Amino acid sequence: MDEELTLDPIDWKALRLSFQIAADLCISNMEAVREGPVWEPTPDRVKAHFKEALPQEGASLNTLLRDFEENILPYGTGNGHPRFWGWVHGSGSAAGALAEMLAGFMNSNVGGRDHIANYVERQVIDWCKDIFNFPASASGILTSGTSMGTLIALNVARNEKAGADVQALGVSAGRRMVGYASAEAHGCNSKAFDLLGLGRQSLRMIAVDDRFRLKPETLRENISADKAAGFQPFVVIASVGTVNTGAIDDLVAIADICRAEGLWLHIDGAFGGLARLTGRFRAELEPMSLADSIAFDFHKWFHVPYDAGCVIIKDEVAHRGAFSARREYLQSTESGLAGGAPWFCDYGPELSRGFRALKVWFTLKSYGIKRLAALIEQNCTQAKKLEALVQAAPDLELCAPVHLNIVCFRMVFDKDGKATDALNKQIVALLQTEGIAAPSTTTINGETVIRVCITNHRTRSDDLTLLVSETRRLGVLINSQDVNLGA
């Protein structure tokens, strides 16, 4: 008989050594992260390296580690660096990274059955209910992020508010359903409407005020108009920390409208929701407890390694009813491995799910809520410092109010608007390609601005001072060299 194969090593001692090498490599990289560039473009030679043919024979782990060190590790997004402020990226942590490795060894499928990973996730969900003052009877599930959490919550809301059995018969069984969000709301909301068969145009984008918050009176007017036209309003999506400016919608006013109109209130708290843990924002965000559902991320302001999001839903029965559809081969038993009901596949679209909860559990247990909350508050304080630096610079202008952790500004010379837009785009590109800092750009009131989102536990005040000085230096350089800003 031929020898039977396995993926286990022949030499376990050598395997241990490979893991020690890997750990030393990654810890050294984390320890020295401030010393390197924020971001380094992937060279053409490295891109070419990843066009190799499908491997037919295996290579040693040590060979692969050398490949990783040379061709992969240096060219990441850069969000571990203290001057990475682009988009809304968390900066990771050692505790979360360790847990990710441990979860990989356990190789758990957290779709169901009776094993410890389910109990860890249930504990994490219970902690989330505590954070947002949701009842113990509420339900929840960890997701890849707020985009998936939003899709799950809106599916529950659609089924509950349709007035017809759309779960069985499809959305054509009832009136056309419409929902509402601010014009500043995240794009995942319209994607969810598309995926749920409602159509992107069925999400009404409501105008915002001068603080970039949804206007409640305009919301009321839109709901009345849609009802008069024969549509079925069913949900309002409130933003707690919009991506452009960090704006927080008026949760009390929106909740009152939802209550009066019988609408589902969903909160997109992707990063801003966790500011509820701070003394500065606790009172303002206490009304999050009025929501029917909340989606948020651990991989942003809690610095859990990607990916780790969550959705919690106040009505557990409605939540389970929207997703529980197990076939005979997935039936629960009173005892044995098929016990442990309800299973997480009863609360979302996936049966196969990784052990995301372990890295969340490690992070919360390792650092504690008080320290994580203090880091959130520190970032908000740093944003106010950056605001002051911008306002003190004669050639910079603030482009939006600073409420949470996002600062939008731009450099302005005596040029027309189109040239100024191009100037600021080029400043950001040079900050990134020279490895100085990684802000992003966005559009505020029709103008291109430099956007700094501080969700980084490694950022220090000196980093912000450097950003302002380098922004001004590059702007002067570009302007003095008469660079073609439209290029």
Q: How far is it, in rounded angstroms, from Cα 143 to Cα 437?
A: 30
Q: Per residue in 413-447, pLDDT tens?
A: 876 778 999 999 999 999 999 999 999 999 999 99
Helix (H, G, I), strand (E, B) or coil at 175: coil
Q: How far is it, in rounded angstroms, from Cα 370 to Cα 402?
A: 24
Report the pLDDT value the prediction gives residue 11, as an integer from 0 to 100.
96
CA-CA-CA-CA dihedral for 158, 164, 166, 172, to nearest 10: -110
Q: Which CATH architecture has domain 369-480?
A: Alpha-Beta Complex (3.90)
Report the pLDDT value the prediction gives residue 485, as an integer from 0 to 100.
43
**The token pair that represents 403 in the structure block:** 């409420």
pTM: 0.95
Which CATH number among 3.90.1150.10, 3.40.640.10, 2.40.40.20, 3.90.1010.10 corresponds to the domain 109-354?
A: 3.40.640.10
Give Cβ neighbours of residue 402 (< 8 Å, ≥ 6 apart).
246, 383, 384, 386, 387
Report the pLDDT value the prediction gives residue 482, as an integer from 0 to 100.
58
Give Cβ neighbours of residue 291 (< 8 Å, ≥ 6 apart).
132, 238, 251, 255, 265, 266, 267, 314
Q: Which amino acid is at 337?
A: L
List the chain domain ranges. Answer: 8-37+41-75, 109-354, 369-480
Q: How far is it, in rounded angstroms, from Cα 344 to Cα 311?
A: 12
187, β-bridge pairs: none
pLDDT beneath 70, residues of the chain: 1, 415, 482-487
Which stretches of 120-197 are assigned E, i.e. beta strand? 139-143, 177-182
Q: Per residue in 88-103, pLDDT tens?
A: 999 999 999 999 999 9
- Helix, strand, coil distribution of the chain in percent, nearest 5: 50, 15, 40
CB neighbours of residue 32 within 10 Å: 9
